Amino acid sequence: MGAEQAFYKTPESLQAAIDAYFTSCDIEKEVQTLTKRGDVVTYRRKTPYTVIDLALALGFDNRHSLFDYEKRNNGKVWAASIIRRAKGRIEAQRLQMALLGDVDS
């Protein structure tokens, strides 16, 4: 769905969709990985926030459609503000992960 179809009529509906995305990421999931010795290690991990995943969760085809919606927003200044705040939250989490050395390559 492009930016024109993913139209949020109220700030509350847009914020609720964004909150649902962050909540889904914050649920810990079981992850398995192999050590250098070949042993399986299981641990729990939250899903990192990303702009593309936010865009898809909001019903956009890609992150560029989200950026377009943020810019055009059909006269709804609140939409741009809410989206910028969500993108800031994503950036903050990524920076915290990098500072803690918790970034997978």
Whether residue 32 is contained in a domain is answered as yes
Could you tell me where the beta strands, DSSP code E, fall in 36-81?
40-45
Query: Could you read off the pLDDT of 37-52 as tens digits, one per residue?
Result: 999 999 998 999 999 9
pLDDT given at position 75: 67
**What's the whole-number average pLDDT of the chain?**
89
CA dihedral 44, 97, 104, 18 (to 10 degrees): 70
Q: Tell which residue, 90, 91, 103, 99, has the closest CA to residue 22.
A: 90
Mean pLDDT of the region 54-78: 89
In total, how many domains does the chain have? 1
Could you tell me where the beta strands, DSSP code E, fall in 1-105?
29-34, 40-45
Instruction: Domain of residue 76: give its range.
Output: 11-97
pLDDT given at position 1: 47
Whether residue 37 is contained in a domain is answered as yes
Whether residue 5 is contained in a domain is answered as no
Whether residue 77 is contained in a domain is answered as yes
The CATH number that applies at residue 16 is 1.10.132.80
Here the tokens at position 23 are 């909540």
Whether residue 2 is contained in a domain is answered as no
Whether residue 105 is contained in a domain is answered as no
